[in-house]
């Protein structure tokens, strides 16, 4: 019974977190346990636990007027991209040095799908495959601290990345940048992989800030 309750609380947490990050629940909006329970069709207990955890994640905040959505601010976006800029170059370097043939194959599969969806202007799947390429990089960098630092940051900017990748030409440019990084990894060229990743993160940051993260 306890395991089932924890599992349900995790599911409720995931749903509310996703709705905050994709903008369904907007910054400044007030939430109540009762309304969320009714909306999700669950009791208030897992909702209460999810709210507690989301406050710890600083996505919600307890105020004198109730629980308020904090979400991700424009300032957060700038900070997240600054952190990514400082760390993802190192990730790319590590991947170019250590990636196995199987890991490189997985990156190529993700890029092939990204190209497929880019040709069809399918923004939802483009965003998904774009994320999977970065996830494959984190999985292949041979560093748990880097992986565990960057994974939640990538998830926090989902709404803004979707808007950015829907902007004219950004999806195709992002694919080109990924392919260039991939070629440097295949060549086991850490200097080039790092340089290209830094250029990619800066370009993504500029696009994000122009399309809504400001």
pLDDT-derived band at 43 (thresholds 50, 70, 90) equals: very high
**pLDDT for 149:** 96
Residues 180, 184, 168, CA angle at the centre, nearest 5°? 15
Closest CA to 127 of 171, 80, 181: 171
The string of pLDDT tens digits covering residues 112-156 is: 999 999 999 898 899 889 999 999 999 999 999 999 999 989 888
Q: Give the domain ranges of the chain.
A: 2-69, 74-211
Averaged confidence pLDDT in the chain: 89
For tokens 């494959």, what's the residue?
136
- Correct CATH for 2-69 of 3.90.1150.10, 1.10.357.140, 3.10.20.30, 1.10.10.10: 1.10.10.10
The string of pLDDT tens digits covering residues 133-143 is: 999 999 999 99
The string of pLDDT tens digits covering residues 78-96 is: 999 999 999 999 999 999 9
| Cα–Cα distance, 70 to 88 (Å, whole number) | 26
**pLDDT for 8:** 87
Separation in Å, CA 112 to CA 119, 126, 130, 178: 11, 11, 11, 11
| Cα–Cα distance, 111 to 177 (Å, whole number) | 11
Secondary structure, 3-state, 132-178 = HHHHHHHHHCCCHHHHHHHHHHHHHCHHHHHHHHCCCCHHHHHHHHH
- Correct CATH for 74-211 of 3.40.50.300, 1.20.120.530, 1.10.260.40, 1.10.10.10: 1.20.120.530
| C-alpha Rg value of the chain to the nearest Å | 19
pTM (two decimals): 0.79
């Amino acid at each position: 019974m306890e395991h089932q309750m924890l599992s349900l609380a995790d599911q409720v947490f995931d749903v509310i977190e996703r709705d905050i990050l994709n903008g369904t629940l907007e910054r400044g909006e007030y939430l109540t346990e009762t309304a969320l329970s009714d909306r999700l069709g669950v009791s208030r207990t897992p909702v209460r636990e999810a709210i507690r955890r989301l406050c710890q994640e600083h996505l919600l905040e307890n105020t004198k007027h109730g629980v308020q959505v904090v979400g991700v601010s424009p300032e957060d976006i700038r900070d997240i991209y600054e952190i990514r800029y400082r760390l993802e170059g190192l990730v790319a370097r590590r991947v170019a040095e250590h990636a196995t043939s199987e890991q490189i194959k997985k990156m190529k599969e993700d890029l092939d799908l990204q190209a497929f969806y880019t040709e069809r202007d399918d923004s939802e799947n483009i965003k998904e495959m774009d994320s999977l390429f970065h996830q494959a990089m984190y999985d292949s960098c041979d560093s748990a601290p880097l992986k565990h630092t960057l994974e939640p940051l990538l998830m926090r900017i989902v709404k803004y990345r979707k808007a950015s990748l829907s902007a004219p030409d950004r999806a195709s440019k992002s694919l080109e940048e990924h392919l260039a990084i991939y070629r440097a990894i295949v060549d086991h060229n850490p200097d080039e992989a790092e340089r290209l990743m830094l250029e990619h993160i800066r370009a993504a940051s500029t696009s994000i800030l122009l399309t809504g993260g400001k």
